[in-house]
Structure 1
Amino acid sequence: MIQALQKQRPSNNCNLRTNWEPPPRGWVKLNTDGAVWDSKNMAGCGGLIRTYDGSWVAGFTAKLGNCQVFQAELWGMRHGLQMAWDLGVRRIIVETDSAEALDKLNSMELTSQSFNSLVREIHSLKNRPWEILFQHIKREGNQCANWLAKNSLRKNYGFNFIDNPHVELQKLICNDCQGRVTH
């Protein structure tokens, strides 16, 4: 579906940014986030894929049920990577505001905790024949994924594919493309 236009590889060494930046041509960017609604014991995640010019490719929400925000963050990455693979993406930058999730993915140490199966699934997805980079971004730069994660809490359980963004999300995407951060 998405073809590489140039053989340009983005840098994995970046300063922590507060605004969204597009990927290089030939790459797409997947932003993911998790959310927990403590009073209802409810968690969810969301994410979106965009091209070098900020154009929407696809998005998702997933209502998860009761879990920790760390697990919701991992579910967001797992669902987003599977969606990207299914869409034919083969050059992807995954961005999250969860330093803890990135640290866990980069760690070779697996304990008996329940989220390790998620980490293994993400590693399995990561090891497929594609180019993939993981990056950390501040929460302010991850506002679209954050909107989707919060919105997932109002959806049906399970994975919900989104081929066209909601009007409110379109405004956030526009802000991202213009380098504006809203609070």
Structure 2
Amino acid sequence: MLRFLNIKSIVPDNARNRQFFMSWGINVNFSVKRPTLHHWHHPSSDWVVLNCDGSIREGLGGYDCINRNPRGNPLFVLASTTPSSILWTKIYAIHWGLLEAVCMGIPNLIVRFDPLSAVKAINGEQQAQWATWNLLQDICELSHHVHEIRFQFYFRESNHYADWLADIVYNSNEISFCMDNLPPHAYSFL
């Protein structure tokens, strides 16, 4: 017989947890996660922001980049798949987004992404994982073609459109958007 006695931990309040503990007759303290506000921060007028993200599903990596001007309007959007680890996929997104920004001649670029370990590796504050070393070297080389560049950690919740694109790319091999032909409602979405 399985018994739970004197459970003192706080359990996240959701339907699955309530059903589990109620079905076993276990009294626990449920907690509701306090919502936090995350939003996209506009850069100063002479900067452009590149938001990058990646995800893994069933062994396939999806990555994407959204490059926006200071008003928040997209300049380009890239999304595709790649078979690799989550960290490699996220750094790969940065590589392709930075390459596109260099090709467009963007002079001042802020690159926002997670995880923090990747930000620290790119900024030279932490040893890079060997699997990402070549990509990080390419990013370093590409950075020399931008007048000024900043790599910043950005909470996943603040990067939700990039996260969403990285997740939907599994339904196709590549997604490309032409900024000149986007429907008007797409600008507010991206």
TM-score bucket (shorter structure): 0.7 to 0.9
For residue 161 of structure 1, the aligned residue among 176, 182, 189 is 176
Alignment partner, residue 113 of structure 1: 130
Higher RCO by CA contacts (8 Å cutoff, separation 6 or greater):
1
Separation in 2 of the partners of 1:97 and 1:170? 23
The 5 A counterparts of 1:1-183 are 18-37=38-57, 40-65=58-83, 67-107=84-124, 113-156=130-173, 160-164=175-179, 170-173=187-190
Paired residue secondary structure (1:54) = coil
Paired residue secondary structure (2:63) = strand
Give the CA deviation at 1:110: 5.8
Alignment partner, residue 10 of structure 1: none
- Partner letter of residue 177 of structure 2? I
- Partner letter of residue 135 of structure 1? Q
Give the CA deviation at 1:105: 1.0
**CA deviation vs aligned residue, 1:113-155 (integer Å, no higher than 9, x gap):** 2211111111111122421111111111101111121122222
Q: For structure 2, list consecutive stretches of 5 or more residues without a partner in the other structure.
A: 1-36
Give the CA deviation at 1:99: 0.7
Separation in 1 of the partners of 2:152 and 2:104? 21
Paired residue secondary structure (2:172) = coil
Q: For structure 1, list consecutive stretches of 5 or more residues without a partner in the other structure.
A: 1-16, 174-183
The percentage of aligned residue pairs carrying the same residue is 23
Q: Contact 1:110 / 1:116 at 8 angstroms: preserved in 2?
A: no
Q: Which moved more, 1:124-133 or 1:164-173?
A: 164-173
Size of the aligned set, in residue pairs, is 152
Q: TM-score, normalised by structure 2?
A: 0.71
Q: Contact 2:66 / 2:78 at 8 angstroms: preserved in 1?
A: yes
Paired residue secondary structure (1:153) = helix
- Partner letter of residue 57 of structure 1? L
Alignment partner, residue 18 of structure 2: none
> Which protein has the larger Cα radius of gyration, Structure 1 or Structure 2?
2
Change in 2 beyond 3 A, CA 1:161/1:62: same
Separation in 1 of the partners of 2:54 and 2:60? 11
Q: TM-score, normalised by structure 1?
A: 0.74
Please give the root-mean-square deviation of Cα atoms over the aligned residues, in Å.
2.3
- Partner letter of residue 161 of structure 1? S
